[in-house]
Amino acid sequence: MTKAFLKLSIVFSLFLLPFFGEKIVAADGRNSEQPNIILIFADDMGYGDAGVFGHPTIRTPNLDKLAFEGQKWTNFYVATPVCTPSRAGLMTGRLPIRSGMCSDQHRVLFPESKGGLPQSEITIATKLKKAGYATACIGKWHLGHLQPFDPNSHGFDYYLGIPYSNDMDQQLPEGINYFEACSNPQLSYFNVPLKRNRETIEQPADQTTITKRYTEETIHFIEEHKDAPFFIYMAHSMPHVPLFPSKDFEGKSLRGTYGDVIEEIDWSVGQIVKAIKENGLQDNTLVVFTSDNGPWLIFNDKGGSAGLLRGGKGGTYEGGMREPTIMWGPGFVKPGVITDLGTTMDLFPTFCSLAGAKLPQDRLYDGYDISSVIGGKGKSLRDVVFYYRGQRVFAIRKGAYKLHFITQPEYGGGGPKELEIPELYNLNLDPSEKYNIAEKHPEVISEFKALLKQHLASIVPVENQLEKF
């Protein structure tokens, strides 16, 4: 590129900037202010399943080191306690009720589902791609397997992974029920496809090698795009059941098969960080690690642990929605333990802020920019968390207090119970939600009821995507 042409490109970029509202990346390299972003999303990993979050027998040296070098978030939540709506909230920065991606009838999408994340929704990938990022989705998607809803239709340049949960497309022998198949799995029980972009490259996917292949694909994408900003959404298929550790990790953990899977995910994190450092990207890369919801407790030792938190996947007690979360980036993440409130919906506006991309102004967002917290320059603006189960708000947290309007067992055991006197907990004093203090604080209950009414007034009905078959 000649000097004259470079000058002309810079002038042209400066002229266009006010009109497009996003940073223009020079043709011969990255914008130095745009960090690479790698978002690692575990599936059904509990709050207490990593060493740094308190597990006594699962060894996670790589996650532990990331937390010590970066930030450990202790009050970080998801949008809902199950897969599909949780991922919709993550990808859009909006509660899934706003996109039709939650249902009281069908909790997630299935292989026979006809719906998915609508094209009208803007994803993190779509926004970052417009800001000059190369984008990749590697792993589980679960936001619609049909073409209008797949990763390539939602801003991802490249996709390798499975379209929905690893327990779907069941082909069970006579006499083997679902619970038995997931507890003592065989690869042949689950005919889940592995796709590269829109081509099925393996069916059933060999789940004993899938964590390693996700890792290899992530490292390859890093190496191929190290000279320009990139966004990688790496969504592990596990520890969602069925559990399939690779031969290198099988039988290695004191925690059994579940521990084997977590320790392999920890290995994967270590390999990715190693690749970041080997390519000289550690000062300009943000890594975020979290999970889509809490542990699937009905699978006993094949499910995880929420540690001191009550409940698990599927429910609106803390164990269902508060997730183990770590943020690492030596160039701009200030190390520490963060007790501020945060959610996966906050990642959309935060990533936009870091990339220099303006948040769209034509819709309501439920996320907050937490980049100042990441950089150690401020506190989180978030003070409220809504606990949705399906299409209803079951509980609200504001500050230290959490009020349950409705309770229901995570799976089985009865329907929703609307509480005549809501349950109130002080989560700073009682994170396990053991001591109901509602009778002592009627003023808090009145405040939360008003807050719920105000929130529900912001919900506009849309077509339900999970009920389309």
Instruction: Provide the strand spans (E) within 162-261.
Output: 194-196, 199-202, 230-235
Work out the mean pLDDT of the chain and round it to a whole number: 94
Among 2-11, 63-72, 85-94, 304-313, the minimum mean pLDDT is found in 2-11
> What is the Cα–Cα distance from 307 to 239, expressed in whole angstroms?
16
Confidence of residue 28 (pLDDT cuts 50, 70, 90): very low
Query: What percent of the chain shows pLDDT beyond 90?
Result: 92
Q: Report the candidate in 6, 2, 48, 8 with the shortest Cα–Cα distance to residue 308.
A: 48
User: For the residues 229-252, what does the mean pLDDT come to?
Assistant: 98
Q: Collect contacts of 21-24 with beta carbons under 8 A, ≥24 apart.
A: 21/358, 22/130, 22/131, 22/356, 22/357, 22/358, 23/131, 23/132, 23/355, 23/356, 23/357, 24/132
The pTM of the full predicted model, rounded to 2 decimals, is: 0.93
Structure confidence at residue 32 (pLDDT) = 56
Cα torsion 160, 52, 374, 93: sign? positive
Confidence of residue 8 (pLDDT cuts 50, 70, 90): very low
260-294 tens-digit pLDDT: 999 999 999 999 999 999 999 999 999 999 999 99
Structure confidence at residue 412 (pLDDT) = 87
Structure confidence at residue 413 (pLDDT) = 83
Among 12-16, 329-333, 442-446, the minimum mean pLDDT is found in 12-16
Q: Which domains are present in the chain?
A: 33-382 (3.40.720.10), 386-456 (3.30.1120.10)
The H or E element that residue 91 is part of is helix 83-92
Give the tokens for residue 65. 């080191």
Cα torsion 72, 77, 82, 84: sign? negative
Bigger pLDDT: 191 vs 28: 191
Confidence of residue 7 (pLDDT cuts 50, 70, 90): very low
The pLDDT of residue 16 is above 80: no
344-361 tens-digit pLDDT: 999 999 999 999 999 999
How many CA atoms, within 13 angstroms, populate the side-chain half-sphere of residue 19?
5
373-420 tens-digit pLDDT: 999 999 999 999 999 999 999 999 999 999 999 999 999 888 999 999
409-428 tens-digit pLDDT: 999 888 999 999 999 999 99
Sequence-ordered list of residues with C-beta below 8 angstroms from that of 271, at least 6 positions apart, any chain:
215, 219
> What is the Cα–Cα distance from 66 to 62, expressed in whole angstroms?
6
Show which residues are catalytic. 83, 142
The answer to whether residues 143 and 100 touch, using CB atoms and an 8 Å cutoff, is: no
